[in-house]
Amino acid sequence: MEDIVLTLFRFVGAFFRMLFQFFIMDIICFSVGWVVSKVFTLGRFPSFSPDEKERERVSSIGIISIVLSLVAIGIFNSL
């Protein structure tokens, strides 16, 4: 009985982890990447209806932008 409950909790935990990762990647990183891409390409990239590959690229740009911003904050706060 204990194994069944443990398996159920692992499944529920994995489900919520997947939802959280989806939220972070698809909403926050995509939004940041969209703005950064539009600013640096002067509005040419990304298109208004991006496909899955372009969505992944924009999300990657968002992750890189967020990480670089956090690193810059850390460096300038330690001066």
Which long-range contacts does 60-67 make (Cβ < 8 Å, 24+ apart)?
Answer: 60/29, 60/33, 61/32, 61/33, 61/36, 61/37, 62/28, 62/29, 62/30, 62/31, 62/32, 62/33, 62/34, 62/36, 63/25, 63/29, 63/33, 65/32, 65/33, 65/36, 66/28, 66/29, 66/32
Average pLDDT, integer, range 54-78: 93
Kindly report, residue by residue over 17-31, the tens digit of the pLDDT: 998 888 887 889 999
Structure confidence at residue 37 (pLDDT): 94
* pTM check: above 0.85: no
- Domain residue ranges of the chain, discontinuous segments joined by +: 2-77
